[in-house]
Amino acid sequence: MKKGSEYKITFTGLKDEIHHFNYKIGKPFFELLDYSDISDADLEVKLTLDKRETMMVAEFDISGTVVTTCDRCTDDMELYIATVDELIYKFGEADLDDEKIVMIHPNDISINIQHPIYEFAALQLPSKRVHPEGECNLEMLNALDQYLMVESDSASDNRSDEDDEEDVDPRWNELKKLK
């Protein structure tokens, strides 16, 4: 079986009606990708494909857990994600700038849903991924602390209020007078 071929849906033989597909997504799915923030997963994808004469509407219902890297300690962490997203596949040759509409060339006989599944799952990851307080790898955090340069409290205490005022943009001083 060709890599990723289980995520290709041949639509030419499908009747114009609603079709249901179910997928279990795990580590092998993400290993097929060139790059992924997700290293492992236990996802369930319920795909509803409404095939019509001039287009297909695909609704992706994705839920489950993914494994990604903690931004603070670099250990793996598990996150729960759930999303329902829709893509419209239109038959034709025009180029559209809409990210929710995918044009299908008239000679194509199948669609590949691997990339949309990955995108919808990856978009559910928070921008800052960190373990809950107290769950990070303490060894790694201590090692990182050795390499961080932190301004000591004594150095900041030596600065007076006068130094702070010298650093302030003079335009702010004029605005302070309005208070």
At 69-109, the pLDDT tens digits run 999 898 999 999 999 999 999 988 887 778 899 999 888 99
Quickly state the pLDDT bin for 58 (edges 50, 70, 90): very high
Which residue has better confidence, 153 or 116? 116
Residues found in the chain: 179
Task: Write down the domain spans for the chain.
Answer: 5-122, 138-176
pTM: 0.75
For the residues 125-141, what does the mean pLDDT come to?
90
Please state, in angstroms and rounded to a whole number, the distance separating the CA atoms of residues 33 and 25: 13
Rounded-to-integer distance, Cα 9 and Cα 59, Å: 14
Q: What CA–CA distances, in Å, run from 133 to 47, 69, 80, 139, 152?
A: 36, 15, 17, 15, 24
Bridge partners of 46, per DSSP, are: 22, 61
| pLDDT(145) > 60 | yes
Closest CA to 141 of 152, 151, 125, 130: 130
Which pLDDT score, from 0 to 100, does residue 89 have? 94
